[in-house]
Amino acid sequence: MSDNLLDINIRHSLQTANGILPMEVSFSLSKGNILALTGPSGAGKTTLLRQIAGLVNPQSGKISLDQQLWLDTSQDIQIPTRKRNIGFVFQDYALFPHMTVKENLLFALETKGDEKVVDELLDAMGLTQLHGRKPHQLSGGQQQRVALARALVRKPDLLLLDEPFAALDHSMRYQLQNLLLKFHRLYHFTVIIVTHDIGEIFRLADRVMIMNHGKVTQLGSPAEVYTSETDNADDLTLSGEVLSCQKLHGHLLVSALIENKVRQLTLPLDMEPQMLPGNNFTLPYSLDPNRIRLVNNR
């Protein structure tokens, strides 16, 4: 018996700013893996997540989870979203504004589900004291914790995350990554996360898949994908906090906290205004040593 939990083979016409693009995606993902999905804007990443969730129907193909068919256009099989045991978190959080924090979680709980899991998640996410507040009374980081807790309340087999931490500062992003890893170890669910942050990819993912123009261009471990000579990493970013910055031999030597590790970056001199100690930064990442170079990791 295959250990692949998720099997996808779909075709679709993707609407882009440059017209209609043929989308063809085929891959398998083993149970318990965390897959980072990355690539340029318009590549089809969000559309793929929505197709897996059943929110968008591909024009043809199959999607199965643990050998249960969720979609098979040849047999006219289409399992609705509510019957797919998934959790998903998008950038806009999509919390119900008229419900409290706890009510948002209870609404997501299965009928006759054990309400104890709601209190457990509120405690684990540090939300117990906020359970009676409504979304507009919460910070962005607090709203994101609620969204993540709501996605986990049904103990999903598959968790879909669409750049869930992109709008958060480095400290909050790292905190929520820790929570994701904690619950992943506890519940052993499979994860697909759309991200452009290279540190996040290496910290979270077992596998990484690059999409471009509606197709999978690379699939492998982060080390395999990002040491490939054919890889194009122009759309990736590196995020962190500046610890110190000094001029040295015609460039900047920056000490930065990136994914809770102190790293040394060499950067162009014209970036000095962005590299003041204490600043949070997001930079384009490249393997080209003439642009941004990781020269030390300790």
CA 298: distance to chain centroid?
25
Write down the pLDDT at residue 233: 59
pLDDT at 98 over 80: yes
CATH 3.40.50.300 is the classification of domain 4-226 = yes
Residues 237-288 have pLDDT tens digits of 888 889 999 998 888 888 888 877 788 888 888 889 989 988 888 887 664 4
Mean pLDDT of 49-65: 95
Q: Of 124, 133, 188, 137, nearest to 159 (Cα)?
A: 188
Residues 139-183 have pLDDT tens digits of 988 998 999 999 999 889 999 999 988 878 777 888 888 889 999
Contact 151, 158 (CB under 8 A): no
What residue ranges do the domains of the chain occupy?
4-226, 237-297
What predicted TM-score, i.e. pTM, was given to this entire model?
0.81
- Residue percentage of the chain with pLDDT more than 90: 49
CA 109: distance to chain centroid?
23
